[in-house]
């Protein structure tokens, strides 16, 4: 089996799991309920918080008819910026106020990767109601306890890039490029109702398995997973939940839901799928009242076309697993200690001022493990 890489923290050596998403769709404003009028109001795409010390851009991207996903990016000024050099495979530290002064860089091979604070200024020029855009980013699991002691868990979609879509092409640095999903060109149509429309809605996520549960009636498998995130003294585990819907497998093969149901606590795997927050629809016949005076009342039913209408019959929410990355399954990779949550505050905030280059920066050591195919439910 080829080596499978898991990022390790440079300071404490803990595993850190990666995730990414790729959406294309139409921009909509987020709506919030006004406390005084109890009516729903549109929220501006961009705002300052903390007396101007923090920038926020957030919006909804509709990836398909009624599939509305909220994405967000928050930025704050920091003490330092870190231009990166591909030539040297390293970063350098410069004062925040001097981040655009290239004469402060060691040489011309160093380039500034836009900090969130600067990136938001570029994104807000692209984002407007009904614009079609591409959004790429990562998931940030969160947990917090309410005043009444209830623990709320979920994942937020943190923006990395936003690019305009024009005539079925993505515009990057002013140039029109083909839209690709899994390295395949997609003929994208900016019309949800077109028969040629293809939804671009894909994510990948590295997860540790806590528990799996397969429903005896539906055959669907629910995954209670753990994502190891960046922490100051150790990697911090955050809970995520995913769903694998039962589908009919080809003869002699196992369904994906059945395979995932056999995973055990401390196993590791990278999953792929789509992000759902959508209404689901069905088509029903429109009832017709045929009068006896109707000249077609006695015409054979096989020659009558009955109209149908679309109705909402429910919703579909959450991270749906539709596949997995080959060779990523590793049995008992994680430990009980890695699953324990520490009392110390985690370092997930994009506003953290800790210097990530305090120790020697460089390529993190890959973590790999040989898999036993006899114990592989996906074999």
**pLDDT tens digits, residue range 263-299?**
999 999 999 999 999 977 667 777 777 777 778 777 7
Cα–Cα dist 133/198, whole Å: 14
The overall longest dimension of the chain from CA atoms, in Å, is 91
- What is residue 355's predicted lDDT score, i.e. its pLDDT? 36
Single out the residue of 228, 238, 319 nearest to residue 271, CA to CA: 319
With a CB cutoff of 8 Å and minimum separation 6, the contacts of 350 are 74, 75, 76, 116, 158
Tens digit of each residue's pLDDT (9 = 90 or more) over 175-197: 999 999 999 999 999 999 999 99
- Tens digit of each residue's pLDDT (9 = 90 or more) over 81-110: 999 999 999 999 999 999 999 999 999 999
In angstroms, the CA 357 to CA 37 distance is: 50
Report pLDDT for 148: 86
| The pLDDT of residue 244 | 98
pLDDT of 379: 57
Q: Is the pLDDT of residue 156 over 80?
A: yes
Task: For residues 163 and 61, give the distance between their C-alpha atoms in angstroms, rounded to a whole number.
Answer: 12
* 365 pLDDT above the threshold of 70: no
Looking at residues 189-218, what average pLDDT do you find?
A: 97
Q: Which residues contact 174 (CB under 8 A, 6 or more apart)?
A: none
3-state secondary structure of 116: helix
pTM over 0.85: no
Note the pLDDT tens digit of each residue in 245-267: 999 988 889 999 999 999 999 99
% of the chain with per-residue pLDDT over 70: 88
């Amino acid at each position: 089996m080829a080596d499978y890489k898991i990022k390790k923290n440079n300071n404490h050596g803990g595993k850190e799991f990666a995730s990414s998403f790729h959406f294309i769709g139409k921009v909509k404003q987020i709506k919030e309920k006004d406390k005084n009028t109890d009516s729903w109001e549109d929220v501006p795409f961009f705002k300052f918080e903390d007396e101007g010390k923090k920038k926020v851009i957030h919006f909804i991207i509709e990836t398909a008819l009624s599939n509305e996903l909220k994405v967000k990016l928050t930025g704050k000024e920091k003490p330092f910026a870190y231009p990166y050099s591909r030539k040297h495979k390293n970063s350098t530290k410069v004062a925040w106020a001097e981040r655009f002064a290239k004469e402060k860089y060691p040489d011309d091979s160093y380039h500034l990767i836009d900090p969130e604070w600067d990136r938001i200024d570029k994104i807000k020029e692209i984002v407007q109601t009904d614009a079609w855009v591409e959004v790429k980013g990562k998931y940030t699991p969160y947990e917090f306890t309410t005043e009444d002691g209830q623990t709320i868990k979920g994942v937020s979609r943190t923006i990395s890039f936003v690019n305009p879509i024009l005539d079925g092409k993505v515009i990057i640095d002013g140039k029109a490029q083909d839209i690709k999903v899994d390295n395949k060109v997609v003929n994208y149509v900016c019309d949800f109702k077109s028969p040629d429309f293809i939804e671009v809605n894909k994510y990948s996520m590295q997860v540790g398995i806590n528990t799996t549960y397969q429903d005896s009636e539906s055959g669907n498998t629910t995954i209670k997973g753990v994502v190891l995130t960046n922490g100051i003294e150790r990697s911090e585990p955050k809970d995520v939940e995913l769903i694998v819907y039962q589908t009919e497998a080809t003869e002699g093969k196992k369904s994906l839901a059945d395979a995932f149901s056999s995973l055990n606590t401390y196993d590791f795997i990278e999953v792929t799928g789509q992000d759902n927050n959508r209404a689901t629809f069905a088509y029903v016949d429109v009832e017709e009242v045929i009068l006896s005076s109707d000249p077609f009342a006695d015409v054979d039913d096989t020659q009558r076309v009955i109209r149908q209408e679309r109705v909402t019959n429910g919703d579909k929410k959450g991270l749906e697993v539709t596949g997995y990355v080959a060779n990523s399954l590793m049995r008992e990779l994680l430990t009980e200690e890695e699953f324990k949550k520490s009392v110390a505050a985690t370092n997930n905030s994009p506003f953290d001022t800790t210097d990530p280059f305090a120790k020697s920066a460089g390529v993190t050591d890959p973590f790999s493990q040989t898999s036993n195919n006899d114990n592989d439910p996906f074999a």
